[in-house]
Structure 1
Amino acid sequence: MAEFNPVLVKELRSRMRGARAFVLLTIYLLILGGVTLLFYAAIADISASDLNSGRTIGKSMFLLIGAVALIEVCIITPALTAGSIAGEKERQSYDLLIASLLSPWQIIWGKLAAALSFALLLIVSIVPMMSLAFLFGGVSLAEVLVALAGLVATALFYASIGVFWSSALRTTLGANSMSLGTVLLMLLGIPFLALIFTVIFGRDLSPDWINSILFKFAAGAFLYLHPFIALQATEVQIASGGSILYTRVPIGADALGGSIVVPSPWLAYVLLALLLSLVLVLLSVRMLRPGQEGAARQRPRREKEQAAE
């Protein structure tokens, strides 16, 4: 255990020893199981009267479980990390933490990994419920793996948002508010801006720059930063017989312009989430600066010791 990050070990012990983690996990599964049970009760009559509707029921149940799990991950994960650094400031233990021999990376990585370990526990716990869809059919293993990859990438990305605001602000309330506000702004703002852009420029007489490769790449990156849009687009692509790893984007205004191969929407979302998570973590590490602040706090004590000598 001496080789492990001490912040990670401490956070894991404090998080898993109490009843809060198990209560949160229970509530998480109760909500997911309740929604699934209500959905099955609503379609039980249809499944009993039509034997050919099993694949549709299985697909609908899988999409419902994935959507509810993704909503819960979007809400819970930022709250797990929003108080990681800000909580140390409120407990007056931040000075001791940054004055220790731990590097900024060890502090941020320990806090983030502890929160992600619990988030991964939440994600793994929904796998048995997703397997219920296999009883009806209509769901492939590739779709399950894509859904789990999207959930893990979302947990990492939104946990990094919580760590960033926790490092930037001094109170847990402010960090929680800004983290959830950022998540809601992304989840609601991206579809709203896409809708407004479509209403304004989605006419027959569109500007030429809309059909350019640069704009299509930028628009795709903007849209696929939304987990629901990226995963839903991937589901449509798989259902239409497309590849799970790549898709083709047409070049030019007509079909004669050709096409280029780009990553599948879920893969683009995972790559963007990893890149932005790395940027947020590096910014959080930079905001700690334990070496400079620790030296500034130790300088008055050294001056007093030299004066006493």
Structure 2
Amino acid sequence: MTINWENPILTKELRTRMRGAKAFWILLLYLGLLSLILGGTYLSWIATQERQGAAATQSYDMGRMFYGVLFVVQAALVGLITPALTSGALSIEREQRTFEALSVSPLPRRSIVLGKLTSAVGFVGLLLLSSVPLVALCFLLGGVSPQEVTAAYVLLLASAFLYGATGIAFSSFAKNTTTSTVLTYGTILVFFFSTLPAALTSLDLSTATVHSRSHLFLLGVNPVGAMVAGNLTESYFGLNVPSWLMGIMVNGLLGTILTVVALHRIEYPRTDRSGLLRGLTTSFIGLIVLLACGHAATLEGAAVGIILLPLLLIPLFVSGEGLGTTPLRKQLLRLKEGNPVSGLLFVTALMVLSAVLLSVGVEFARHSSEYWTPVTNFVRHAVPAVAISLSALFGFGSLTLLLSQKLKNRWGVMALSFAILAAVYFLPLSTESFRNYDEPASAWVNSYCLSPLISTFYLENSQGRIIKALFYDHSTMWLLNCAFTSLIGVVSLSLLKRARRA
């Protein structure tokens, strides 16, 4: 049996793109913009030399400055160009009534998705490759190593894969190209700016040098951090791992998940890839939580990561287009299917497994010579954290199931569920920040105890300080939070049963 690696969609996309004038205009504008910015940087450096004299020449590393400017601009251009190439890849086929012709052909659907994605990422790779002569100027000036440049290019290509997969995923869902483009750029902007602080905390963009190496964490995930990720390492559980490897792992795995989402969406007859999607998502969430707790190397960090799992997973796995007519008990154990009820059990199992492994692992790493200290710390800190998460899963998971039954629109349920969870998790932080501990607290100010995140912060507080408005102390705040979220679950399940009877 021979495997045919030829992809007609990839061949068609590459030939169509490169035979037209559009690709060469994009290439010209790409290199022209880089050249203009590099020339402006050089003129600015000359003006600085004339104004400050020889002292500036000794302190200013021109090669590092050119290197930083080139890759910051390329990081921004990759984020702008790649979504434009993929956000309409599938939706435009529907608009032009050509998707039906692809559907009746013997071509596998994976060839359609992978062909369009590979052609887009390949074109971005061509743009990056065309900038090598400009980057080579940095070698003449000094201050940059070949390893650093290679790692920066690889990380930019990994970011292009992630951005392209985001466009393909939204293009498979959206009914028109405009909606897909807006959703793609909005998601990429949120991802870019949420990961940007990790790159900027240790980076001086004027010289592309590192301020501190003690707080590096997932530096290579954001393309701006790609410029310094080539020669830096990050510490996880006492092991030093290259920053570029972490960036490739995170972006590559997340891009793979989005690619499978697009494939799952367009397949007909529909094949259920929920098991594959849940497995990949488990790997991604486990990787992120493991890296976060390994970087902090504290049980408190593991507890915070466990608490945030419901916020991330409930909107994704518990939302759906209604619950159907099958009894909920029968749906609960069907983990390989994509129904919301089994999704709640899947999230619960994932959270419990992460809690046990991370908490015990971190504590034994810190107290390898003491046997009972890890066990007692696990009982004192991890058990309340798991209780908070389980009650949050029960409460907000039941609420999301109720919303799925009522709205019957997965996108609306996901958005509303995430908004409710974000409000409960983070809005009470504002009242806690303005809390004046010298005065009795009002009932509204004390509402910060309803946040699972804040309740976790106070697990260390065993002073037993009584807050008169609600009659509890900080050490037992988690009990009140568990009661609050469990009440939400009980009410939601009661309303859900009534809705299903109706």
Q: TM-score range by the shorter chain?
A: 0.7 to 0.9
Q: Residue 221 of structure 2 corresponds to which residue in structure 1?
A: 225
Equivalent residue in structure 2 for 1:248, among 225, 235, 241 = 235
TM-aligned CA distance change 1:193 to 1:266, over 3 Å: closer
Q: What does the per-residue CA deviation read over 1:157-190, in whole Å, with 9 as the maximum and x for residues that have no partner?
A: 1111111111111211111111111111111234
Alignment of 1:296-307 (within 5 A): none
Residue 31 of structure 2 aligns to a residue whose secondary structure is: helix
Are 2:172 and 1:164 aligned?
no
1: distance between equivalents of 2:72 and 2:199? 21
TM-aligned CA distance change 1:110 to 1:232, over 3 Å: closer
Alignment of 1:269-280 (within 5 A): 269-280=247-258
Equivalent residue in structure 1 for 2:243, among 265, 268, 275 = 265
Q: Residue 303 of structure 1 corresponds to which residue in structure 2?
A: none
TM-aligned CA distance change 1:283 to 1:144, over 3 Å: same
Alignment of 1:117-156 (within 5 A): 117-156=122-161
Q: What does the per-residue CA deviation read over 1:282-305, in whole Å, with 9 as the maximum and x for residues that have no partner?
A: 111110113359xxxxxxxxxxxx
Identity among equivalent positions (%) equals: 30
1: distance between equivalents of 2:235 and 2:120? 37
Note the C-alpha offset of 1:45. 4.5
Q: Residue 473 of structure 2 corresponds to which residue in structure 1?
A: none
Q: What does the per-residue CA deviation read over 1:224-248, in whole Å, with 9 as the maximum and x for residues that have no partner?
A: 53332x436636xx4xxxxx5x433
Q: What does the per-residue CA deviation read over 1:72-94, in whole Å, with 9 as the maximum and x for residues that have no partner?
A: 00110011111110110110111
2: distance between equivalents of 1:193 and 1:65? 20
Note the C-alpha offset of 1:17. 1.2
2: distance between equivalents of 1:176 and 1:72? 16
Conserved in 1, the CA contact under 8 Å of 2:152 and 2:227?
no
Are 2:268 and 1:290 aligned?
yes
Residue 33 of structure 1 aligns to a residue whose secondary structure is: helix
Letter in 2 for 1:227: P
Matched positions, count:
251
Over aligned residues, Cα RMSD in angstroms? 2.8
Conserved in 1, the CA contact under 8 Å of 2:85 and 2:164?
yes
Computing the radius of gyration over CA atoms, which structure comes out larger, 1 or 2? 2
TM value normalised by structure 1: 0.74
Note the C-alpha offset of 1:55. 7.0
1: distance between equivalents of 2:257 and 2:138? 37
TM-aligned CA distance change 1:54 to 1:194, over 3 Å: closer
Conserved in 1, the CA contact under 8 Å of 2:85 and 2:120?
yes
Alignment of 1:1-309 (within 5 A): 4-46=6-48, 50=54, 53=58, 56-191=61-196, 220=217, 225-228=221-224, 230-231=225-226, 234=229, 238=231, 244=232, 246-249=233-236, 260-292=238-270
| Stretches of structure 2 lacking an aligned partner (at least 5 in a row) | 201-215, 272-502
TM value normalised by structure 2: 0.46
2: distance between equivalents of 1:189 and 1:139? 28
| Stretches of structure 1 lacking an aligned partner (at least 5 in a row) | 196-218, 239-243, 250-258, 294-309
